[in-house]
């Protein structure tokens, strides 16, 4: 059954984007706590994931043993996880009046699979539209950090690299450039945040920008 999104208020649907180790999750948790104190019902979702089916797809996508996965298989798996998330969680929760915070959304697919993997951008656009029923966030916070800075943070954390994180610095430079192009094309939706500032400074900036938006 096709989802109807014409009557959905997107004002309370926001997303966070950025390359890995940009600090998205920390800021999402802080924003969730802030909004809950304001009296909002808040639901945080991550991509890929957020539902039982989507989390199983996530495990497949990030498993380093799946090095033979083709670029097209990758984008369709991400999109399968997304369409399940949008259908099962995002649309129903927005209709119930929840404030939705998405840790990644379609911009990640465009940046990583389109620009990073080199897939045809028009094809990526069509797949993204089909997977989301055309539903987009009203505002997207882009946590800006260079690939070199992100790599340094990962090394300092001692964390191992998943399949995507192990793609190499050249891949992440293409992703970084892809995000820049997305921001250039949609300046009204994106808010660029210097992710190398202190956690508190970033949180304050996000709150200020969100309050202006609302």
CB-CB contact of 131 with 106 (8 Å): yes
Residue 43 lies in a domain: yes
Average pLDDT over residues 94-109: 97
Complete edge-to-edge strand list for the sheet that includes strand 139-144: 42-46, 99-103, 13-17, 139-144, 190-194
pTM here?
Answer: 0.92
Residue 5 lies in a domain: no
Question: How many domains does one find in the chain?
Answer: 1
Residue 1 lies in a domain: no
Residue 135 lies in a domain: yes
Residue 4 lies in a domain: no
Q: What is the mean pLDDT of the chain?
A: 93
Residue 121 lies in a domain: yes
Statement: residue 70 has pLDDT above 60: yes
Residue 16 lies in a domain: yes
Chain segment 23-59, per-residue pLDDT in tens: 999 999 999 999 999 999 999 999 999 999 999 999 9
Chain segment 132-151, per-residue pLDDT in tens: 999 999 999 999 999 999 98
Chain segment 157-212, per-residue pLDDT in tens: 877 666 566 678 899 999 999 999 999 999 999 999 999 999 999 999 999 999 99
Provide the domain limits for residue 76.
Answer: 10-213
List the CATH number of the domain containing 48: 3.40.50.300
Residue 3 lies in a domain: no
């Amino acid at each position: 059954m096709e989802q109807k999104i014409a009557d959905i208020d997107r004002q309370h649907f926001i997303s966070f984007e950025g390359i890995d180790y940009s600090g998205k999750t920390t800021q999402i948790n802080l924003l969730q706590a802030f909004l809950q104190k304001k009296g909002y019902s808040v639901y945080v979702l991550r991509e890929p994931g957020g539902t039982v089916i989507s989390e199983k797809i996530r495990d497949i996508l990030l498993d380093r043993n799946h090095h033979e996965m083709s670029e097209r298989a990758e984008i369709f798996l991400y999109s399968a996880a997304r369409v399940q998330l949008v259908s099962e969680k995002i649309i129903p929760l927005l209709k119930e009046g929840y404030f939705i915070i998405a840790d990644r959304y379609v911009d990640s697919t465009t940046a990583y699979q389109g620009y990073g993997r080199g897939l045809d951008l028009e094809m990526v656009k069509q797949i993204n539209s089909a997977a989301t029923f055309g539903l987009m966030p009203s505002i997207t916070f882009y946590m800006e950090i260079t690939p070199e800075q992100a790599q340094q943070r990962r090394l300092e954390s001692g964390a191992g690299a998943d399949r995507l994180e192990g793609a190499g610095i050249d891949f992440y430079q293409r992703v970084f450039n892809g995000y820049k192009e997305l921001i250039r094309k949609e300046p009204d939706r994106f808010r660029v945040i210097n992710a190398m500032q202190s956690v508190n400074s970033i949180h304050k900036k996000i709150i200020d920008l969100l309050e202006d938006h609302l």
